[in-house]
Structure 1
Amino acid sequence: MDSSHNTDKQTWQDILHKASEKPWRYGYLSLMRFFGAQYPLQLPIGDAVRPQQEPFRLGQSPSLIFAPREIASTSLTSEGKFRIQLFGLGLWGANGPLPMHYTEIALSRRDSNRDSTLVDFADLFHHRYLTQFYSAWQSAQSAGGGLDRQDAEEFSFFIASLSGQSLEEFAESPLPSHPRLAAGAHLVREARNPDGMTSTLSHYFGVPFTLEEYVLHWIAVAPEERTRLGIPGPASVIGEGALVGQMVPDRQHKFRLIIGPLNLDNYLHFLPNGRDLPRLIEWVRAFIGYEYEWEIQLQLNPRSAPPAQMSSDQRLGWTTWLGQSMNDLPVAGMTYEPEQYSSIRQL
């Protein structure tokens, strides 16, 4: 038996122990959904041909009282099967289809005579019925069927369709599909706003993000559009298309993402070879595509900035600062354009 199965079994033993101590905190559907998610290699609940293929047993505990809760008891059988007994949804009890004296007979034989044959026989049908009941419920729950088991992924497809996205586009992306789908409310709007981007990035990475708009940058002028003496054309008309130099200033097509203040570990994650940079690039591309130029400015917590020292593993221009800050203002870190480093191997 592999270690992953042992881990799952131990997890379920903990859940059963908690459910036996406080059964009112657990429901049948939620307990079975957790069970199905813990054993993704098993057949979906309700699809097994024989009970031997399922590592659990479901049944109903006969009782003459109205059900105070769904779960009556949980235990582990001698065969290692998880046994879950319910108060309702079966043949016995005040809400069951059988007359009450059948419940009295089953209860008397089990408790007085220590003979659970009748209860066990009814549980053969209870087990099959309850698994089919859960399977019918789960088939109508897109979240339960699509998130718990990867082989029945439907929920992501539904959410992606609402936001006009395709799961096939996410296959080669370093950004997982679920975070991108969670931001569908921001991505579905054609007019993207800075607050939507910064709130999404802050929530995903767990660090502060702010966006500075209208950042000054220089746009290179194509050689054929430059002003040259003796060459007629629109670029030679003073006051209309004439330009001085090879570049022009612009503030309409670039913004800056300010990240921080960060501790040193998070700061390293956003460097050009940091592990979070590919996901950050994918997030920005998802919001604005390739239309705008952008850069990031890293800010470091003053208490986390190590002073430069000889014979250390610090990198000049990357993780070195002269002296220590005497105030609580963030320390300026690296400022660069991530798109220029998108192909660098990440550490």
Structure 2
Amino acid sequence: MLTPTVTLTGRPVFFPLKPQLSPPAPLPTRTNSKSYSSSMESAGADSDGREFKNPGEMWREHTGDSSLKTQWYHDGVAYWEGVEATVDGVLGGYGLVNDADVKGSESFLQTLFSDIFLDGGIGRHIVALDCGSGIGRVTKNLLIRYFNEVDLLEPVSHFLDAARESLVHENHMASETHKATNFFCIPLQEFTPNPGRYDVIWVQWCIGHLTDDDFVSFFKRAKIGLKPGGFFIVKENIAKSGFVLDKEDRSVTRSDAYFKELFTQCGLHLYKTKDQRGFPKDLFAVKMYALTTDIPKRTGKTRSKVQANRPAIIK
């Protein structure tokens, strides 16, 4: 098993794949708190061991006014600007998990495709948005094989340059029917998609950089970018409870309950979840969420129909 590198203070130096840091046991909730529901009143900690009673206390300290919030996002991008544009770089030194990550994501995507495209996707032009795309790792290894077009959204310019080089200039599998189309060098908190463009908006290992307010605001804006019946897919590290703040890269690892509360605030409905398997046990757990803008409608397809209805992909 790989042992992660840490500083003398115990702070993890890898993101997005980080060693587990367990926050302290939940403290009693405050009766006068109005900003967060009871499911989000769990205590948390930062990477130096500083404890917080709840997320509100942490966010007020780090992003409580406009200057602090601006600095928060500046520091997050600055961290990644110092990381090399390679698979090992964007995976925080854990490039060896790339195959397991792609395999887990593909399995999850296939189950969703069987529900989205009841006609097998025949004659459809399907489009995805890769949020926090980095060097295009997820697009190149997964999304471009399933979608006719993939747009990439990434605030770190040298990552996006590497993605463009890999997906447009070096990718011999690219064609007019399966290609990377647009490369947006814009942070999540400032992005608004074109209405009705995407069948799937993929959000992996990037939403932890957003404050709770900007998390909710992003998904509310991004809803307009989904086609009818489209999905958000969120894949993120999961804290055991509460939250863990990484002060170095300005990101927050949230618990499953914390995520679900934010999804509710976004007006999103949980359609399906799956745990990522095959990662080193000393890392945070990773979970995948499929989210819809409408209350999910379940279908009663047989297994054979599920397989028959899957759209064709590039092998």
TM-score normalised by L of structure 1: 0.23
Higher helix share: 1
**Higher RCO structure, 1 or 2 (CA under 8 Å, sep 6+):** 2
Higher strand share: 2
TM-score normalised by L of structure 2: 0.25
In our comparison, the structure showing a higher alpha carbon Rg is 1
